[in-house]
Amino acid sequence: MTELNMLEAINESLHAEMERDDRVVVLGEDVARTGGVFRATEGLFEKFGERRVVDTPLSEGAIVGASVGLAVAGLVPVAELQFLGFAYQAMHQIAGQVARLRYRTQSRFESAITIRAPFGGGVRTPELHSDSLEGQLANVPGLKIVVPATAADAKGLLASSIRDPDPVMFLEPLRGYRGIRGDVPDGEHLVPLGSARTARPGDDVVVIAWSHQVELACRASDHLAEEGLAVRVLDLRSLVPLDLTAIAEAVDSCGRVVVAEESPQTGGFGGEVVATVVEESFWSLEAPVVRVSGFDVPYPVGMVEDRYIPDEDRIAAAVRRVLDVA
Amino acid sequence: MTELNMLEAINESLHAEMERDDRVVVLGEDVARTGGVFRATEGLFEKFGERRVVDTPLSEGAIVGASVGLAVAGLVPVAELQFLGFAYQAMHQIAGQVARLRYRTQSRFESAITIRAPFGGGVRTPELHSDSLEGQLANVPGLKIVVPATAADAKGLLASSIRDPDPVMFLEPLRGYRGIRGDVPDGEHLVPLGSARTARPGDDVVVIAWSHQVELACRASDHLAEEGLAVRVLDLRSLVPLDLTAIAEAVDSCGRVVVAEESPQTGGFGGEVVATVVEESFWSLEAPVVRVSGFDVPYPVGMVEDRYIPDEDRIAAAVRRVLDVA
Amino acid sequence: MARPTDEQRREMLVDMVTARVQSQRTWNLQRQGQVGTMAPIEGHEATVVGAVHALDPGHDWVLPQYREPIALRRYGPEILEHVMLYNIGHPAGGHIPAPIRVLPYQISLATQIPHAVGLAWGLTLQDDPGVVLVFFGDGSSSEGDFYEAGNLAGVLGAPVIFLCVNNQWAISTPVHRQTAAESFAAKAAAFGFPGVQVDGNDVDAVYDAVQTARERALAGQGPTLIEAVVYRLGPHTTADDPTRYVPAEEIEAAQGRDPVLRLCAELEEAGLWDDAVQAEVEAAALTALDAAFEAAKSTPLATDAMLDHCYTEDTQRLARQRAGLLAGAGHSGVGPDGVVGSHA
Amino acid sequence: MARPTDEQRREMLVDMVTARVQSQRTWNLQRQGQVGTMAPIEGHEATVVGAVHALDPGHDWVLPQYREPIALRRYGPEILEHVMLYNIGHPAGGHIPAPIRVLPYQISLATQIPHAVGLAWGLTLQDDPGVVLVFFGDGSSSEGDFYEAGNLAGVLGAPVIFLCVNNQWAISTPVHRQTAAESFAAKAAAFGFPGVQVDGNDVDAVYDAVQTARERALAGQGPTLIEAVVYRLGPHTTADDPTRYVPAEEIEAAQGRDPVLRLCAELEEAGLWDDAVQAEVEAAALTALDAAFEAAKSTPLATDAMLDHCYTEDTQRLARQRAGLLAGAGHSGVGPDGVVGSHA
Ligand SMILES: Cc1ncc(C[n+]2csc(CCOP(=O)(O)OP(=O)(O)O)c2C)c(N)n1
Ligand SMILES: Cc1ncc(C[n+]2csc(CCOP(=O)(O)OP(=O)(O)O)c2C)c(N)n1
Ligand SMILES: [Mg+2]
Ligand SMILES: [Mg+2]
């Protein structure tokens, strides 16, 4: 075990996977010579050379589109989008091509592509640098959507994502890069895709969350513990595949549910989680499920963003709310 | 009143709005000289000339991006995407620019843009011609998402969309172009955005649907009426704004709810509807809400698409299911 | 100038006639409601056939748009079955068996162009001595994907050949409303590699241009953009009515430049072709097409075939949807038992 | 050749010095944690100022990327307050008051380029005799939006000037990895209108090129692509460390071509500038900046300001979210009463 922040864990995982499998190539804007604008790819260029670690022109569509061709050639591309908001520039390739390469060719080709991108707010970025698009991406069949919340999971889920023969959107919480630290297993560490994690135990209420909201939900849980409340936190870890069993188990145990996400409320993945809860465990519900989310406006500018992102107080308020209800 | 199919109703509305407001310009691929691949824009070029009805190069990004500039100039662009699946090519402009022009400029400029596109399956199209992306678009704040199900609404909602100072994705059911006919009011006919419509009355179960699924839900309702069941059909008409009042009213009256949509289940707008139902009317629910939807794979090829799209039998089965439950 | 041999020219004409006849028969099948919307090949034969005859099917890849697959016979007879499976709307229509180095139909215009660049780049990374040829239309050249891919290819020096089939139309949009550039070939200046324009009705010229581009690519000199100037002799697809927009004089003039008739006449003059051969080739083409059509129609189709090949393993949710579909009622809601819609 | 008058050159130098000083002060404010990440102007002054001085602010529009706004003084002193509101992260930072014909910062690279084409087209539709000038970087030229917009502008013959500021870098990516084209100007061949390369450190050359392009555009002769060759003299932004990738010799050589020092020297020689003037201009620039900064900081900010201007009228759901926010607890769930999060 070594204590690392998420960035270090991601970097370590990239090094290990490139070492392990020489079909892995890394491409994106500023990923090679300068090691990425956040240094996630630091050292790869020096270690694996300019054939396998490539600074591309500034074209998200071409980065993702070329990754499809690399996959057809039998390589394992790990593409970086500098910010998830610029996935929009490549959406025709992500949703129309990456997600469907296996389906279109009826398994002649695997789409063993991993697309990494930071997302989420809290660090006062300009427009489109903090947007949470995971709900939109989750509606694209063929993609897997992986959203780690801890440093150890960042390492273990990234390794699994790169090894997965299916395409993965690997979404990294911008605020967690340096803000989330934790013990990370040394050496090979794999976390399977599609299995949720209980981040805090408890049977009074369950808060279902992913990515940086897990951290905030845990803080809320810790505070509420002082009031004698046992608030479970379920970290989904991947939205697709979704761990239906874990959701059902948590809801059946707790009976009261809060879903926390950063995205605008309308059309966010939170709605999918609520629908899943209703499908899996309607008869266990003792109160309406409450969503805590961003607002139905674009992710806003720095002076007001703290009002936009759900914080531990808003999560705690929602927990109290589902408990207040008859 | 004149009986028209949806295509004729749309065409009539476009003629009327161009007549009424000379700031309206129509642009897109093949919209001018040939009147659109489905003839939705037929006759506009001849009537309003090449300055106001423009065949563009084959670039969805430029069609939508130029619309933003036209809006800044004070014009009212009505852009056509030949199929909604190719909105992906323009997603950076739709979600990043069109949706935010007013927000980014703090109301200095209005984004009075309407983007029309056919969507939905049933007519044996090639890939990406039938995909239902409304759930993804609904997660983009700033957009309005309008989804008519009848010829009269197609006319009245399109007129309202074009006149609306906010940007509207106006999504037309491909199967309804010629397949849905009905009486359409002559002359000016406006249907406000954000008000749902009761397509069939009933108090046993409510099926919440939009676009072509409304037609199928109505057929299911008619069949089930023969069995003595009163199945209400609520046609949302717009997903954003969403008519929360109408949803609550319907759910409170019926207590049992089916949501029908064509999109893949995961991440579709159906999840948002379920979450809304839970938020508005949890205590009225007598059974779990059931979603009827497409499957979590890309919209498939012609030989199998009828298995993919929910039909009236699947909707009826879901109605029986929510009634079966204690 | 790389000139095809007489034998090659004869083979090319066989492929061109075959493609035309098969395309026409498919058109008729569409009219009888037996296959879906299709895009006829008429006018493109010399370009597609000339190009692929300059390639080495054992090493070089071909990425088509949607009009070319029926003319890729040189890459393997299996492609015809793929074409017919595709035309009848069978899921297996996407599967071209290995090791054929051809990707399936591309409907999302221009998206295949960056794929070609990535694939060519991948070949060099694996020291695989192949090149990639990607077809796209004049209309498709207006998509950002074309330019982004061209620019990337220039920077990488990837062994890729961009073949723009300028048939003067993108559905109803004529080239002068598609671009104001002097030519499509001229667009290569934006990428820093050569752009050449050839008469796409002249199979020898196409063959030569592709040969030259291929040699450059293999020599590590990078990409080439080739514009093949042809004329779309038929409608855009079976769903289109070109009389609404194609000037009659124009299409008549273009018929005078028909690439199949042209090569036919040349080979007849050279004593390499005659009516009997023509009849034989046509008959063989139709037999092959009918066989492929029958094979396609009798290809099994499992109830849940449409759910296969999306993920390597079904997600938990998809597995339930599959169970519901197999239970016979579609999936109208997911129950904790994993069976969906079974109440019907 | 359209040569600026002495008076114009003096005014341009005032704007250039002002922009540089204000950019540097903003940099310092960022270092003190008083404003957010910012992109310094150093090296771009002659290009931005020369370009806008060739325009008519009463008619012509300017669409910046993100490095230019601080140098748009000629379009109105109000722009500086917009810049500072933007830098402190105030929502009002997006609002440039009418009738100033400038759009706000654009962060999603190259998306402003099709806007420029649509706007220029819109001006012609309204018989408004203006042109549109759009700035974008060498890096941004690799986005599909640039090419799609250029191609569309060519077809429409729209009155638009594409100004590519080639400062040799896109963050850490040098131009030779951005494109293999001979120049960025050469890319105009893809669109069918002229492309010209100018020394972007030479304010007169930029002025002249934009003037010429503007006259062409107004005469109905369509768009022009101008590449202004400069060097980014500072880091990409306050978040960047260029010592990781910019060769020391290169930046030193570039400093010898500093556009501000160059014009300064020329005007001093011509007796139009001296140290006293310089000091006065710098002082005025700082005073203006400090005033704009104070004004920005004291601009009111309503609790629910972030919810304004999204829709003309709040949707039902947004209205509830607003109520919840105003109720003080964020919106942690929506109740039928329309009040959200009020249980907290
Ligand atoms: C991204 C995208 N936009 C629009 C379409 C609809 N569409 C299908 S074919 C076509 C015209 C294509 O023209 P071109 O590339 O010249 O090929 P051609 O049909 O002439 O061979 C259009 C607009 C599409 N399939 N994909
Ligand atoms: C679509 C998009 N992709 C990526 C980024 C991240 N990014 C911000 S600035 C920049 C480099 C821009 O280079 P250039 O256009 O040359 O402008 P310069 O900064 O040199 O003035 C990048 C990659 C972005 N803002 N938008
Ligand atoms: Mg064409
Ligand atoms: Mg630059």
The 10s digit of each residue's pLDDT in C100-150 is: 999 999 999 999 999 999 999 999 999 999 999 999 999 999 999 999 999
- Which entry of D67, D74, D216, D232 is annotated as an active-site residue? D232
C48 located within any domain = yes
Specify the residue for token string 């599909």: D144
C87 located within any domain = yes
Return the CATH number at B252.
3.40.50.920
D1 located within any domain = no
- Answer yes or no: do C196 and C309 share one domain: no
What integer pLDDT is reported at residue D2 of this predicted model?
84
- Answer yes or no: do D335 and D267 share one domain: no
> Residue C344's pLDDT band (boundaries 50, 70, 90)?
very low
Q: Average pLDDT in the C205-224 region?
A: 98
D239 located within any domain = yes
C128 close to D (CB below 8 A): no
- Answer yes or no: do C43 and C174 share one domain: yes
- Answer yes or no: do B11 and B157 share one domain: yes
Looking at residue B287, the DSSP 8-state letter turns out to be S
- Answer yes or no: do A219 and A177 share one domain: no
- Residues contacting residue D173 through CB under 8 Å, at least 6 positions apart: A29, A30, A55, A57, A58, D139
pLDDT-flagged residues of chain B (< 50): none
- Cβ separation of B267 and A104 shorter than 8 Å? no
Helices (H) and strands (E) in chain D, counts: 11, 7
- Is residue D101 scored above 90 in pLDDT? yes
Domain count within chain B: 2
- Is residue C330 scored above 60 in pLDDT? no
What integer pLDDT is reported at residue C2 of this predicted model?
84
Domain, as residue range, for D308: 302-344
What integer pLDDT is reported at residue A326 of this predicted model?
56
Which of C141, C164, C179, C216 best probes binding to D when mutated, by most D CB atoms within 10 angstroms? Answer: C179
- Is residue A98 scored above 60 in pLDDT? yes
D321 located within any domain = yes
- Answer yes or no: do C56 and C197 share one domain: yes
Q: Which residues of A fall within a CB distance of 8 Å from C155? A: 56-57
Strands A231-235, A205-209: pairing is: parallel
> Residue C328's pLDDT band (boundaries 50, 70, 90)?
confident
Cβ contacts from A onto C, under 8 A: 148
Q: pLDDT tens for residues A2-45? A: 999 999 999 999 999 999 999 999 999 999 999 999 999 999 99
Which uninterrupted H or E stretch holds A292? Answer: strand A290-294
Distance CA(B46)–CA(B144), nearest Å, equals 30
Q: pLDDT tens for residues B152-176? A: 999 999 999 999 999 999 999 999 9
- Is residue C342 scored above 70 in pLDDT? no
Q: From C140, C233, C245, give the residue whose CB has the most ligand 1 atoms within 8 Å, as the site to mutate.
A: C140
More confident position, A98 or D3: A98
- Give residue D258 CA to ligand 2 midpoint distance, Å: 23
What integer pLDDT is reported at residue D337 of this predicted model?
36
- Answer yes or no: do B230 and B316 share one domain: yes
Which of A21, A24, A58, A68 best probes binding to C when mutated, by most C CB atoms within 10 angstroms? Answer: A68
- Answer yes or no: do D140 and D249 share one domain: yes
Q: Average pLDDT in the D180-197 region?
A: 98
Which residue of A108, A240, A243 is in closest CB contact with C95? A108
* Segment 160-189 of chain B within 8 Å of chain A by CB: none
Q: pLDDT tens for residues A237-282? A: 999 999 999 999 999 999 999 999 999 999 999 999 999 999 999 9
B19 located within any domain = yes
Residue A308 contacts residue A244 (beta carbons within 8 Å): no
- Answer yes or no: do B6 and B150 share one domain: yes
Q: Give the residue, by CA position, lying nearest to ligand 1 atom 13.
A: C170
Judge if the beta carbon of residue D109 lies within 6 A of ligand 2. yes
* Segment 113-132 of chain C within 8 Å of chain B by CB: none
Residue D333 contacts residue A318 (beta carbons within 8 Å): yes
- Answer yes or no: do D335 and D245 share one domain: no
- CA A267, A270, A273, A278 torsion-angle sign: negative
Specify the residue for token string 């071409």: A62
Judge if the beta carbon of residue D108 lies within 6 A of ligand 2. yes
| Atom of ligand 2 at shortest range from CA of D67 | 21
- Answer yes or no: do A158 and A201 share one domain: no
What integer pLDDT is reported at residue A277 of this predicted model?
98
Return the CATH number at B126.
3.40.50.970
Structure tokens at B184: 């359409």
- Is residue C329 scored above 80 in pLDDT? no
**Cβ atoms within 10 Å, residue B15:** 16
Q: Average pLDDT in the C269-293 region?
A: 98
The domain boundary, picked from B184, B210, B231, lies at B184
- Answer yes or no: do C180 and C86 share one domain: yes
- Answer yes or no: do D307 and D166 share one domain: no
CA B255 to chain CA mean position, Å: 26
Average pLDDT, chain D: 95
- Answer yes or no: do D272 and D320 share one domain: no
Q: From C171, C175, C245, give the residue whose CB has the most ligand 1 atoms within 8 Å, as the site to mutate.
A: C171
Residue A289 contacts residue A279 (beta carbons within 8 Å): no
- Answer yes or no: do D166 and D250 share one domain: yes
B136 located within any domain = yes
* pTM of the predicted protein model: 0.98
Judge if the beta carbon of residue D178 lies within 6 A of ligand 2. no
Q: pLDDT tens for residues D138-171? A: 999 999 999 999 999 999 999 999 999 999 999 9
- Give residue B171 CA to ligand 3 midpoint distance, Å: 27
- Answer yes or no: do B160 and B63 share one domain: yes
| Atom of ligand 2 at shortest range from CA of D237 | 19
Instruction: Return the HEC string of B28-89.
Output: ECCCCCCCCCCCCCCCHHHHHCCCCEEECCCCHHHHHHHHHHHHHCCCEEEEECCCHHHHHH
- Answer yes or no: do C226 and C249 share one domain: yes
Dump strand ranges (E) for D23-98. Answer: 61-63
| Atom of ligand 1 at shortest range from CA of A92 | 1
C1 located within any domain = no
The domain boundary, picked from A146, A161, A184, lies at A184
Domain, as residue range, for B75: 2-184
- Answer yes or no: do B124 and B219 share one domain: no
- Answer yes or no: do B178 and B278 share one domain: no
Closest Cα partner for A276 from A243, A230, A253? A243
Residue B188 contacts residue B16 (beta carbons within 8 Å): yes
What integer pLDDT is reported at residue A163 of this predicted model?
98
Distance CA(D79)–CA(B188), nearest Å, equals 44
Q: Which residues of C fall within a CB distance of 8 Å from D223? A: none
Q: pLDDT tens for residues C37-63? A: 999 999 999 999 999 999 999 999 999
| Atom of ligand 1 at shortest range from CA of C141 | 15
B192 located within any domain = no
C55 close to A (CB below 8 A): no
Domain count within chain C: 2
> Residue D113's pLDDT band (boundaries 50, 70, 90)?
very high
Which residue is closest to C142 within chain D, CA to CA?
D148
Burial category of A245 from C-beta neighbours within 10 Å (exposed 0-12, middle 13-18, buried 19 and up): middle
Q: pLDDT tens for residues A150-186? A: 999 999 999 999 999 999 999 999 999 999 999 999 9
**Cβ atoms within 10 Å, residue A112:** 26
A189 located within any domain = no
- Residues contacting residue C309 through CB under 8 Å, at least 6 positions apart: A102, A103, A105, A106, A107, C91
Residue B186 contacts residue B151 (beta carbons within 8 Å): no
Q: pLDDT tens for residues D256-278? A: 999 999 999 999 999 999 999 99
D72 close to B (CB below 8 A): no
What integer pLDDT is reported at residue B149 of this predicted model?
98
- Active site includes A189? no
- Answer yes or no: do B211 and B300 share one domain: yes
Return the CATH number at D135.
3.40.50.970
- Cβ separation of C329 and B129 shorter than 8 Å? no
B189 located within any domain = no
Which residue of C146, C147, C182 is in closest CB contact with D192? C182
- Answer yes or no: do B170 and B270 share one domain: no
Q: What percent of chain C has pLDDT over 90?
A: 94
Helix, strand and coil percent figures for chain C, each rounded to 5:
50, 10, 40
- Answer yes or no: do D293 and D306 share one domain: no
Residue D316 contacts residue A266 (beta carbons within 8 Å): no
- Answer yes or no: do A310 and A214 share one domain: yes
Q: What percent of chain C has pLDDT over 70?
A: 95
- Answer yes or no: do A39 and A70 share one domain: yes
Give how far B304 is from chain D: nearest CA, Å.
35
D321 close to A (CB below 8 A): yes
B190 located within any domain = no
Average pLDDT, chain C: 95
Strand, coil or helix: D190: helix
Q: From C63, C65, C109, C232, give the residue whose CB has the most ligand 1 atoms within 8 Å, as the site to mutate.
A: C109
Q: What ligand has the least distance to the C-alpha of C166?
A: 3
A218 located within any domain = yes
Strand, coil or helix: B293: strand
